[in-house]
Amino acid sequence: MSEPISIDIWSDIACPWCYIGKRNLEKGLEAVAGDDDAPQVNVTFHSFELSPDTPVDFDGDEIDFLAGHKGMPRDQVEQMLANVTGVAEKAGLQYRFDLLQHTNTVKAHELLHFAKAQGLQHQLEERLMSAYFTEGKHVGRIDDLVALAVEVGLDADAAREALETEQYLPAVRQDQAQARAYGIQGVPFFVIDGQYGISGAQPPAAFENVLRDLWSKRGDAELEGDAEAEAAAV
């Protein structure tokens, strides 16, 4: 049995392209799962803060934030958000920028590391992104985060303690240091098997092709290794 292919994803809860990229990866994984020799894959999410200086309670909507943060005219921001909303819809996501509550995401990242330790990282990643982009829920305050943690099966008291003591903040910083070491400047960014980098919300087919190619090469290498072992035994 070949070792699973590792997919390490650097993303931010507040990144609209990260949710789209996540969904496209899932569609790619679903497609290859039907192969006769389906690739085995391990997916891990890593922390990346796009705007670490954002206050927890930002006074304004998403248009206000982007207009101020990027210095873009409001009408240009509105056009950009409309474009992202259309791309998200094609990925099966219903973005509601009119409801979105912009916030600092460091606590959300800490909670994701807590969830990872409990084996529920994937469930929480999905819950946080859905809450933020489609439901207009706040994902920066501890009380709101604990409530979302409970929804995916995490213990409320343990989650609150982890956030209040910043137990997983070092893990967040370690992810960010690794991103800098890789030269990652934007997200989503996918590192596959520690050797291939895929930047941006690529279509599902891009992930299908890479995974099938890697899995095929892994199988060929194992066959060669078996043949060499048999020859040595003779």
Residue range 82-104: average pLDDT? 97
Which range (30-34, 69-73, 116-120, 124-128) has the least confidence? 69-73
Q: How many CB atoms lie within 10 A of CB 180?
A: 9
224 pLDDT band (50/70/90 cuts)? low
DSSP class of 234: -
* Distance from C-alpha of 91 to C-alpha of 88, rounded to nearest angstrom: 5
Identify the structural domains of the chain with CATH numbers, from first to last: 5-230 (3.40.30.10)
Cβ atoms of 129 and 201 within 8 Å: the answer is no
Average pLDDT, the chain: 93
What is the model's pLDDT at position 71? 86
What is the model's pLDDT at position 195? 87
Residue range 149-160: average pLDDT? 98
- Taking the alpha carbons of 40, 25, 107, 54 in that order, is the dihedral positive or negative? positive
Using DSSP, state whether 101 is helix, strand or coil: coil
What is the model's pLDDT at position 231? 43
Residue range 35-58: average pLDDT? 95
Q: Which residue has the higher pLDDT, 219 or 227?
A: 219
Tens digits of residue pLDDT in 115-125: 999 999 999 99
Q: Which residue has the higher pLDDT, 224 or 165?
A: 165
Cβ atoms of 161 and 107 within 8 Å: the answer is no
Using the predicted structure, report yes or no on whether residue 100 has a pLDDT greater than 70.
yes
Residue range 151-167: average pLDDT? 98
